Amino acid sequence: MPVFIEKKFVNGTYQGKKHYFCSMNTSFSTQLERWYEAFGRDLPWRRTKDAYLIMLSEFILQQTQICQGMDYYLRIAERFPTAASLAEASEEEVMRLWQGLGYYSRARHLHAAAKRIAETGSMPRDYSFVRALPGVGDYTAAAIMSFAFGEPYAVLDGNVQRVLSRHFGIWEPVDTTQGKKLLRALADEMLDRKHPALYNQAIMDFGALLCKPTSPLCDTCPIAQTCQALKEHLVGKLPVKSKRTAVRDRYLTYIYVRTEDGQVLLRRRGSGDIWQGLFEFPMIESEAPLTIEEVQKQVKEIFHFSLFTFHFIARDIRHQLTHQRLHADFYSLTLPSPSPVADCRWVKESDLDHYALPRLLEKMLEKIQNSPSSKQRGTTRHTS
């Protein structure tokens, strides 16, 4: 491997790129494919050429690990085996099936994409059509086109970025325009155009199972001899990222409001924030955690309840999102009978399973079920 070529990568230039890439292409792709045929994962969406089912798997796996997404894929594929069947479903049913998976905009985009496909009858073998579907980016479009249709489009996800950056010693930050341009050119050049699906699956599994972010298995790597990062003892430093997005802390107080005859108060979240379209219990957001006295005061001011029993459930239940860290306190409040609350609806407690709730509120329900009223702390009764 000529060092002067690698130095040109470090400086972000492209001179000599074609000669370097092409000299590596055959052995690189062949060895990855052989490794994959021996050690690759057997996954249900890899046993089909159905473009819709492949799209479904890709939507689920955009922000979800396979171990978590598998059951969701099987459940949704069984309930909606075709794009047409998903297109006919209500948004609420789609969101209920997605409940607990997070990043709920994926479910809405999937639903919208299914409607577009249903309008045409089937997914056409057309990259521009696939790329224009709601929620489909460059990676997802390349995955669908290669896996379903055998078209030569190279995938470029985090796993692929890591493998290429390490193997070819690329110091351009992967989150910059120059870094993305370089990796895209490299991914396209290294693609096995005769077997694009096999190659794409191979390099993604290779990154997920062997060339891992931490503790990569370099001792068993079939392409270790030509890995620049391993040669220069830089595996732990590649790929490079230029910046990290700050994580914002948010403090939420949720109140499970129910009546003595078993009705529960719900509101539907609007657009412009997390969990769009999902249901939640009444919530108070604050700059810092609220004391129980502050919560009681705000409950009276906001909801104008005249007679209620108040219970503390749990404090500082944390829920991590991509760029947000949620700190939630849970309370329950019991009323003798329902009274109108703006932008909220009363539903039967026994029907809560019919409403899609964020995973954080599933945790709240679990804690309520495990904390019967006779054992709850901080119980107070209020009249006004």
* Residue 71: closest CA among 93, 113, 91, 100: 100
Question: How far is residue 317's CA from residue 346's CA, in Å, rounded to a whole number?
Answer: 25
- Give the Å distances, CA to CA, from 316 to 102, 162, 249, 290, 309: 20, 35, 12, 10, 22
Show the low-confidence residues of the chain (pLDDT under 70). Answer: 1-26, 372-384
Tell me the angle at which helices 177-190 and 17-39 cross, rounded to the nearest 10 degrees.
70
Chain segment 1-41, per-residue pLDDT in tens: 332 233 333 333 333 333 334 445 558 999 999 999 999 99
Residue-level pLDDT at 372: 57
Question: How far is residue 253's CA from residue 292's CA, in Å, rounded to a whole number?
Answer: 10
Residue-level pLDDT at 225: 92
Question: How far is residue 97's CA from residue 243's CA, in Å, rounded to a whole number?
Answer: 35
Q: Among this protein's residues, is 58 annotated catalytic? A: yes
Average pLDDT, the chain: 88
Looking at the domain 3-237, which fold is it? Answer: Endonuclease III; domain 1 (1.10.340)
**Is the separation of the CB atoms in 171 and 8 below 8 Å?**
no
Chain segment 87-113, per-residue pLDDT in tens: 999 999 999 999 888 888 999 999 999
Q: Read off the DSSP letter of residue 291.
A: P
Is residue 44 reached through a cis peptide bond, with omega within 30 degrees of 0 on the bond before it?
Answer: no
Question: How far is residue 254's CA from residue 97's CA, in Å, rounded to a whole number?
Answer: 23
Residue-level pLDDT at 3: 29
Residue-level pLDDT at 376: 42
Domain chopping of the chain, boundaries: 3-237, 248-383
The tokens of 118 are what?
């249903």
Residue-level pLDDT at 26: 56
* Residue 207: closest CA among 8, 380, 35: 35
* Residue 159: closest CA among 98, 210, 100: 210
Question: How far is residue 42's CA from residue 35's CA, in Å, rounded to a whole number?
Answer: 14
| CATH-assigned architecture of domain 248-383 | Alpha-Beta Complex (3.90)
Catalytic residue among 6, 33, 37, 58: 58
**Is the separation of the CB atoms in 334 and 323 below 8 Å?**
no
Residue-level pLDDT at 382: 54
pTM: 0.74
Q: Which residue has the tokens 């991914």?
A: 187
